[in-house]
């Protein structure tokens, strides 16, 4: 039974909601989209019991954390600044930073930009995009066409309204469709359609997701809506411009990559390339962990396997 507590902290002027448990070395857990700190509910007891101080924030624009109105306040520089400010607010000098989905992107870039503040880094599902690499949106358009969901998310107000129309359906469908239990469908919006046309609303939820879980997410997104999370996607190209000074830089802290074998986002081959090839972006990638029969919502679908991988990595530091 999880026994984490909730409170608010001032992280560099951003009112930030956090869930926390345990004492010891600080481990920050960064969620993705559409998630909140609740996505780490299965990790608190295990990591705290292993001797760590576990903190999971609602990230900028999500849940009970502030949601700036200006889309330009969601660049990667702002978001990395939030992580550093949170470490300061918690009275620490360094943290192990672990992220999932878009939270993994943030974890990787925090380690890239501020290795002095990152003891080690873990990414679940998503690998880092090299700083100043070609535009992600251009690459996605070439690979998947104009209907790819990252591109659909760009137009202000469109996906925002669609996802907010029925939050219960939105969250049930997105969590189910991205899991190992859902259909294997490309995330390409059909002409004239919406994002939810790419997935399935299940009649019965899979065993790892309860109606109470969905209700918890609905309550979180009722506070700030979906726009804050969508604004992360609306800065993908801007981030590449801002990160030009880090062109060719590597992520030097010890690192871990974890993914579900049925997660369409996961790329184990590229993870090995980023570690083993000369000039690879992850020269200190210590382990690549593949979790069988697992989809995109890795730490929720297979918490025991994720917890074991995290604890083994933490104990190795």
- Does the pLDDT of residue 164 top 60, yes or no? yes
- Mean pLDDT across the chain: 96
CA distance 140 to 204: 33
Residue 255: its pLDDT value, please?
Answer: 98
Residue 225: its pLDDT value, please?
Answer: 95
CA distance 12 to 9: 9
Q: How many CB atoms lie within 10 A of CB 183?
A: 10
Nearest 10 degrees: Cα torsion 151, 157, 158, 164: 120
Kindly report, residue by residue over 37-86, the tens digit of the pLDDT.
999 999 999 999 999 999 999 999 999 999 999 999 999 999 999 999 99
Residue 279: its pLDDT value, please?
Answer: 81
Kindly report, residue by residue over 173-183, the tens digit of the pLDDT.
999 999 999 98
C-alpha angle 114-119-125 in degrees, rounded to nearest 5: 85
Does pTM top 0.75 for this prediction? yes
| Range in 2-11, 33-42, 55-64, 280-289 with the lowest mean pLDDT | 2-11
- Does the pLDDT of residue 295 top 60, yes or no? yes
Which one-letter DSSP state was computed for residue 79?
H
Kindly report, residue by residue over 109-137, the tens digit of the pLDDT.
999 999 999 999 999 999 998 887 888 89
- Does the pLDDT of residue 1 top 60, yes or no? no
Q: How many CB atoms lie within 10 A of CB 22?
A: 21
Rg (Cα) of the chain, in Å, rounded?
18
132 CB contacts (<8 Å, ≥6 apart)?
Answer: 240, 243, 244, 246, 247
Buried b / exposed e along 115-134 (16+ C-beta atoms within 10 A): bebbbbbbbbbbbbbbbbee
Active site residues: 101, 296
Give 279 or 192, the one with higher predicted confidence: 192
Task: Specify which residues 300 forms β-bridges with.
Answer: none
- Does the pLDDT of residue 253 top 70, yes or no? yes
Burial of 5 (0-12, 13-18, 19+ CB in 10 A): exposed
Residue 2: its pLDDT value, please?
Answer: 62
Residue 186: its pLDDT value, please?
Answer: 83
Over pLDDT 90: what percentage of the chain? 91
Kindly report, residue by residue over 209-242, the tens digit of the pLDDT.
999 999 999 999 988 899 999 999 999 999 999 9
| Range in 3-7, 82-86, 151-155 with the lowest mean pLDDT | 3-7
Range 271-291 average pLDDT:
93
Residue 284's CATH number: 3.40.50.1820
Range 133-147 average pLDDT:
91
Closest by CA position to 27, among listed 51, 58, 63: 51
Phi-psi domain of 91 (left: phi exceeds 0; alpha: psi -120 through 50; beta: other)? left
Residue 19 has φ and ψ, to the nearest 5°, of -110, 140
Residue 147: its pLDDT value, please?
Answer: 95
Helix (H, G, I), strand (E, B) or coil at 244: helix
Domain that holds residue 171: 5-316
Residue 30: its pLDDT value, please?
Answer: 99
C-alpha angle 217-219-221 in degrees, rounded to nearest 5: 70
> Do residues 15 and 26 make contact, with C-beta atoms less than 8 angstroms apart?
no
Sheet containing 255-260: which strands, arranged edge to edge?
A: 5-11, 14-21, 52-57, 25-30, 95-100, 118-124, 255-260, 285-291
Domain count of the fold of the chain: 1
């Amino acid at each position: 039974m999880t026994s984490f507590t909730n409170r608010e902290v001032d992280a560099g002027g951003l009112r930030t909601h956090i869930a926390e448990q345990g004492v010891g070395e600080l481990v920050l857990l960064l969620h993705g989209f559409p998630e909140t700190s609740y996505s780490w509910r299965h990790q608190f007891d295990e990591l705290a019991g292993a001797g760590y101080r576990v903190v999971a924030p609602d990230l900028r624009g999500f849940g009970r954390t502030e949601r700036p109105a200006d889309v330009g306040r969601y660049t990667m520089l702002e978001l990395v600044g939030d992580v550093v400010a949170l470490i300061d607010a918690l009275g620490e000098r360094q943290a192990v930073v672990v992220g999932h989905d878009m939270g993994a992107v943030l974890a990787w870039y925090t380690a890239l930009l501020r290795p002095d503040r990152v003891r080690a880094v873990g990414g679940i599902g998503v690998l880092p995009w090299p700083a100043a690499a070609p535009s992600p949106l251009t690459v996605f358009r070439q690979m998947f066409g104009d209907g790819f969901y990252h591109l659909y998310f760009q137009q202000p107000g469109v996906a925002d309204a669609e996802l907010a129309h029925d939050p219960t359906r939105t969250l049930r469908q997105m969590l189910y469709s991205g899991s190992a239990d859902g259909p294997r469908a490309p995330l390409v919006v059909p002409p004239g359609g919406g994002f939810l046309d790419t997935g399935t609303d299940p009649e019965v939820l899979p065993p790892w997701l309860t109606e109470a879980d969905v209700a918890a997410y609905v309550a979180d997104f009722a506070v700030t809506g979906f726009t804050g999370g969508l604004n992360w996607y609306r800065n993908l190209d801007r981030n590449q411009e801002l990160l030009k000074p880090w062109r060719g830089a590597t992520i030097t802290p010890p690192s871990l990559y974890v993914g579900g074998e049925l997660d369409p986002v996961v790329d184990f081959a590229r993870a090995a390339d980023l570690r083993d090839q000369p000039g690879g972006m992850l020269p200190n990638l210590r382990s690549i962990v593949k979790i069988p029969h697992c989809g995109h919502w890795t730490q929720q679908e297979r918490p025991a396997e994720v917890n074991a991988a995290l604890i083994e990595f933490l104990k190795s530091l």
